[in-house]
A and B are shown apart, each in its own frame.
Chain A
């Protein structure tokens, strides 16, 4: 049973380029979350998606960042025109269902380390 798969593990971009981060949730999971971790910090929530729907994007910067979780294929976090401040580890998590009754554990991928030169 494969876990949450993120690729690439490391991504290097020059300022102004685009970064695309991919996340395939665990089998049977229909909820995907993206978090960002700056050095020496905890994870900060960015966006929560279900298939074809954005449920909560309250942590997403208003410009340059977008996320999708299409009916088929992985979830994509897209950062346009990257700047040095975007350098961070980006984690994807997935869970099977909603609600505290279901525990709804979020299982994380290994992350994508984005470096902007």
Chain B
């Protein structure tokens, strides 16, 4: 069963507008961490934002915020005031502390295109 689901293969947004990238996850463990990474066309993976399962508030990092809905098991990324440089692949990932492993499980990603 897929643990991380990103249902939007591609998204388009106008510059300066906000966009939401969807992510749902599946786990029975009460302790887990959720991450978003950005992969521009140059290929590197850039950490954006983290949400712990016990965190009381939604995470925010500059123009990035995470809409964490625990009961729905969703962790959507919201990018405000989109910029042309935001065009990239975006990956949602989850970490479960199973047996001491810290591995991340990634979704298939969403390709975001910001139009001028």
Interface residues, chain A, CB within 8 Å of chain B? 31, 33, 35, 41-45, 48, 55-56, 58-59, 89, 91, 93, 95, 98-100, 103-111, 113
Question: How near does chain A come to B24, taking the closest CB pair, in angstroms?
Answer: 14
Count how many chain B residues have C-beta atoms less than 8 Å from C-beta atoms of the other chain: 31
- Interface pair B102/A59, CB less than 8 Å apart: no
Interface residues, chain B, CB within 8 Å of chain A? 4, 31-33, 35, 37, 42-47, 50, 52-54, 91, 93, 95, 97, 99-109
Could you say which residues of chain B place their CB within 8 Å of the CB of A100? 31-33, 52-54, 95, 97
- Interface pair B105/A45, CB less than 8 Å apart: yes
Q: State A7–B54 Cα separation when bound (angstroms).
A: 37
Question: How near does chain B come to A115, taking the closest CB pair, in angstroms?
Answer: 14
- Interface pair B108/A42, CB less than 8 Å apart: yes
- Interface pair B47/A107, CB less than 8 Å apart: yes
- Interface pair B45/A91, CB less than 8 Å apart: yes
Q: State A113–B44 Cα separation when bound (angstroms).
A: 11
Cross-chain contact of B33 among A44, A55, A104, A111 (Cβ < 8 A) = A104
Question: How near does chain A come to B75, taking the closest CB pair, in angstroms?
Answer: 15
Question: How near does chain B come to A28, taking the closest CB pair, in angstroms?
Answer: 16
- Interface pair B103/A45, CB less than 8 Å apart: yes
A103-B52, A113-B43 known; A48+B103 contact, CB < 8 A: yes
- Interface pair A33/B106, CB less than 8 Å apart: no
**Nearest-neighbor residue (CB-CB) of B99 within chain A:** A56
Could you say which residues of chain B place their CB within 8 Å of the CB of A104? 33, 95, 102
Could you say which residues of chain B place their CB within 8 Å of the CB of A33? 102-104
**Nearest-neighbor residue (CB-CB) of B100 within chain A:** A55
- Interface pair A110/B43, CB less than 8 Å apart: yes
Further contacts, 18 of them, CB under 8 A, given A99-B97, A104-B95, A108-B45:
A35-B104, A45-B103, A45-B104, A48-B103, A56-B100, A56-B103, A89-B43, A93-B45, A100-B95, A100-B97, A105-B35, A105-B50, A106-B47, A108-B44, A108-B46, A108-B47, A110-B42, A110-B44
Question: How near does chain B come to A52, taking the closest CB pair, in angstroms?
Answer: 16
**Nearest-neighbor residue (CB-CB) of B54 within chain A:** A100
